[in-house]
Homo-oligomer: A and B are copies of this chain.
Amino acid sequence: MNEPIEAKGISHCSVFDSEKSWYDLLSDDEKILIDKHSVSISFKKGETVCKRGAFASHIYYMEEGLVKVYLEEKNKNLILMLAIRNNLLGMAAIFDGNDKLPYSVTAYTDSRIRMIDINIFRQLLKQNADFSFHVINLLNEKTAQIYGRFFSLTQKQLHGRLADILLCLSNRIFKSKSFELPLSRADLGDLTGMSTESVIRMMKEFKDDGLIGMHCKSIELLDIARLERISEFG
């Protein structure tokens, strides 16, 4: 089994990773329409893609890169999810009344994002049922992941939450046991609902216990089986 974490307990992952392309479901005319009413924009590492509360005139399609989707209020931050290639963001604004973005988005790495006119997108959803069926699947998958993360953040304690996020980064984003972390410890905190200091302490603990290898930003998962057990038992 490839992803035992998913199979057993409640999924906790915070990355949305879709391999299928909705673009292929469009007719030639519809593709032309999309192309005409969208632009591809490059964002540099650290740049803000959009801010919560802003007027939502576009759907964001991630062509390349890694971004965080987050809420901020006062000094409290929460990263809702990390998004990579093939993600659609800003879908909440599809709903007619709902013209404000419900979250902010910032690029972790250089990213290319196609901004699609929301009215065109809405029109396509209304006229192409195959397309909107696909979008429904995307939304459902996203919802399922959110539920899992919800469980992780509310029911597990720090060890479990950190194990969750490390496994998630490895499985879903970098698809490798070792990777260069583009997020700061503070970001990991916002992602796991723990303080920056606790992230640091816990990471060191994991390192001392031989669960992970770590030199600054480069992380390697050494004992995945034990990380999974920590994830499971909270």
Contacts and interface: CB of A to CB of B under 8 A. Distances in A.
Interface stretch (A37-45, A72-80, A172-180, A197-205): A72-80
A161 to B, nearest CB: 10
A81 B170 CA distance: 30
A21 to B, nearest CB: 16
B141 A95 contact: yes
Interface string A104-139: 000000000000000000100111111011011101
Contacts of A143: 91-92, 139, 142-143, 146
A30 B73 CA distance: 45
A138 B103 CA distance: 18
A153 interface: yes
A73 B152 CA distance: 11
Interface residues of A, number: 43
A144 B92 contact: yes
Nearest to A52: B10
22 contacts: A10-B73, A71-B151, A76-B234, A78-B150, A78-B154, A91-B136, A91-B143, A94-B140, A95-B140, A96-B137, A125-B136, A126-B129, A128-B129, A129-B129, A132-B132, A132-B133, A139-B139, A139-B143, A142-B143, A150-B150, A153-B154, A155-B193
A102 interface: yes
B91 A140 contact: yes
Contacts of A80: 147, 150
A130 to B, nearest CB: 6
Given A92-B144, A125-B136, A140-B95, A154 B154 contact: yes
B146 A146 contact: yes
Contacts of A103: 147
